[in-house]
Each structure stands twice: as C-alpha cells, then as structure tokens.
Structure 1
Amino acid sequence: MHNILIIDDDETFAAVLARGLTRRGLTVRQAADPQATLAALQPPPDGIILDLNLAGDSGLRLLPQLLAAAPAARVLVLTGYASIATAVAAVKLGAVNYLAKPATLDDILAALGQPAANPEAPLAAPMSLKRVSWEHLQRVLAAHDGNVSATARALGMHRRSLQRMLAKRPVKD
C-alpha cells in the first residue's frame, strides 16, 4: 500500500494524520467533502481513511461511490462517533475495518493491513472506563455547543449531576 486518501472535514486532524503517514513513506492525498473526494480518486488510491461524520453528513453514503471508483482500495472508517450499528453498516457496505478516534498511527496502518513499524512494541492499553465516560461527556457537550442543560437532557441525567461530573479533571488512562 503506497497511496492513501484521507477524507475528513477536520483539517487539523487530517493534516496531522497525513504528516504521520508521509513520514512512514506513503503518498497521501486529502479531501474534506464529497465533491473534492470524487476528484481525488484519480489515480485510485490503495487505501482510504474515511471519517464517518463529514460536516453533518454521513461518510457511509460516500462509501459505495468510493468502492465503485476504486474497487481495489481498502477502506477504513475512522470516527469519533463510534457505535456498533455504524460499524456493522460500514463493514456491510465494504469497509475493511472501523476504528474509533483517537487511534494511533500504528493502529490505523494495521487496520489498513500494513505491518507495524515496530512489531516488538507492546500493545497500547485500552482506555479506562472512566476515561471513556469522560470522552463521551465531552463529545456530547461539544455536540450541544457547550450547553450543559441540553447535554444533560440528551444524556438523560440531571443538570447538576452533569455539572459535578464536568467539574472534575479528566481521568488519566
């Protein structure tokens, strides 16, 4: 695998990921929306890293078009909004793998079928349950533009309980 196409509307994340992949000797192209993506498919890439949430639209809608234009490409769905339902849908539509953000560069390359840079390196420990909960609270809070009351309603909890949880520092992994 030599050519990778990153489809992500988060320009900062895409740039950091592209820099890391380039340092590993891969050729990287980027696209931030469906129109730019279809133009970036020539020549067809070997691997595609697809964000699930593209400016409010689902990256899954783009998946069949990607595979039609680049049938040999290995598609990895990489998302900050992971769920079992979307993972199953992505694989049914042709994705070879599905990862939740944050993921390491080695995790991403492994999901695309690339060997690890250092196979002797120990596997990273998974996030603790407290850290996963903290990350989820932060994601839901960001989705509601920092509105604690709306976030509490979305989570089905009392506003004061959420405020107490948010007052604590993030948990270390």
Structure 2
Amino acid sequence: MHEAPFLVVDDDPVFCRILERSLKRQEFDVMVAATAEEALRLARQRPPEYATLDLKLEESSGLRLLPELLSISPACRIVILTGYSSITTAVEAIKLGAVNYLCKPVEVAEVLHALDAQEGNPDAEIADNPPSVNRLTWEHIQRVLQDNEGNISATARSLGMHRRTLQRKLQKRPVRQ
C-alpha cells in the first residue's frame, strides 16, 4: 500500500495539511486539491489508488465529483468525509461508488481502516433511540437540497421557507443522532 497515489480533496487548508502530513508518514504519494476542477486535473495526471473527498466543497460536492473521479480511475478506493453527515448522503455516496463514509473530525487511522475494509460490519452499533425531530429535519433538508442539485433558492421554495432561513439552517452543524 506504500507509495500509492492518494488524492485528498477538501477546501479546508488546515485539515488538508494535517491529513497530507499524516499520509506522507504512511508513505503515500499525496496530492491535495481544494476544488473539484483541481482534483480532476490531478487525477488525470496521476490516477489515484485512494482518495478522500469532502462532501461539501466550496463550488461543488464530493457526490458530484465521485463518479467523475471513478471514470478517470475506476479502481480508486474513495472515502467521503464530512462534517455534515446525513443518512441520505451516506446512502448516495455508497451508491455512487464510495467504499465508505466518515464523519469529521476523523483520525488518519480511521480513514485508512475505512479504505481497507472489504466488507460491511454486521456487528455495527444500532442506536437505542430513534433520531430526534431536529435530526430528521436536518436530514430532510439535506435530501431536498440534493434533489435540487444544491440550489438554495429552489430548495427553500420546495420546503416552503425563506431562502435566508434555509441558509442559516445550513450554516449550523448537523444535529447529533
């Protein structure tokens, strides 16, 4: 697994530096991109064997980038990383070809484990309580936002709320389970 090309796509420069440094210590050949366009350019130059994609990029999303990256490097093992997790985006990431989906903050060891996992875990923890109403609301907003391809105005209209109200809700961290 050493010297393998590893693409990190995230618009948080501090997170990128930390992840890049840690991956280089593991002897990966790390490429870092802050945008989807930059990621695709780097992938065309040197197709990655591994990648982490931030779900929420400045101008795009990891979900949109995922199939494009796999078309360049079909065997690439990709993990989606996000601070805005939802069941909807997790399911879509896996359907689109990600091998795993992790919530930030995340340790490098967790990322590497997620990339190497070949099978699902039948012993995964099952929550004792159903999600809260606030969590369900957050996930519904994320689903409608995805259905509207990230368009805030269209999503606000679909949800019957003011665009600024929706923007405020989206700026907040997701509600814990």
Give me the TM-score of the superposition, normalised by structure 1: 0.65
CA shift, 1:104, in A, is 1.0
Number of equivalent positions: 122
- Indicate whether 1:91 and 2:106 are aligned: no
Alignment of 1:11-160 (within 5 A): 11-41=13-43, 42-55=45-58, 57-113=60-116, 154=169
Does structure 1 retain, via aligned residues, the 8 Å contact 2:5–2:46?
no
Structure 1 counterpart SS, 2:53 = strand
SS at match of 1:75: strand
Structure 1 residues without counterparts, runs of 5 or longer: 115-135, 137-149, 156-173
The answer to whether the 8 Å contact 2:23/2:30 transfers is yes
Aligned equivalent of 1:160: none
The 4+ residue runs of structure 1 with deviation greater than 4 A are none
CA distance in 1, matches of 2:108, 2:100: 14
Tell me, in whole angstroms, the C-alpha distance in 2 between the residues paired with 1:154 and 1:54. Answer: 17
Computing the radius of gyration over CA atoms, which structure comes out larger, 1 or 2?
A: 1
CA RMSD, aligned part only? 2.4
Cross-structure match for 2:159: none
Identity %, equivalent residues: 48
5+ residue gaps, structure 2, are 118-134, 136-164, 171-177
State the Cα distance separating 1:56 from its structure 2 match. Answer: 5.0
Cα deviations by residue, 1:126-150 (Å, 9 ceiling, x for unpaired): xxxxxxxxxx9xxxxxxxxxxxxx7
Structure 2 CA distance for aligned equivalents of residues 96 and 14 of structure 1: 20
